[in-house]
Structure 1
């Protein structure tokens, strides 16, 4: 069984750059970017724990499962 993969979407229009998401992320998928803006450099690091999504006070983060691609078809 393949490991699930996730996509972390950060809505810049809602985000206030509080830093909770990159502080709480256990895998450091979300990192502090320029001027404190949260950035995702590698979506493959995300384990789908939803800690960032649940902790965001502005509802600016959505973590969604990516569809698995079957390379044998």
Structure 2
């Protein structure tokens, strides 16, 4: 049976750093940037542990601005 692997892509220019996605992620994949800011001056979400992403889409669902796209891929054992 294959394992599900996920990946997220964050539209960093639209992200306002609300951190709802950070709280929603069950695998602690997402964090706000420590020093970098986007064009609007906000810290933005980024995948800090992308290999742990399971593609559950919790982050994309809670994002109020629709900044996160979630992709899922079935990996062969």
Per-residue deviation at 1:24? 1.4
Structure 1 runs (4+) greater than 2 angstroms displaced: none
Moved more, 43-52 or 53-62: 43-52
User: What TM-score do the two structures reach when normalised by structure 2?
Assistant: 0.75
Aligned residues: 69
Alignment partner of 2:69 out of 48, 55, 62: 62
More strand by share: 2
Q: Which runs of 5+ in 1 are unaligned?
A: none
More helix by share: 1
SS, match of residue 49 in structure 1: coil
Q: Which runs of 5+ in 2 are unaligned?
A: 36-42
User: What TM-score do the two structures reach when normalised by structure 1?
Assistant: 0.79
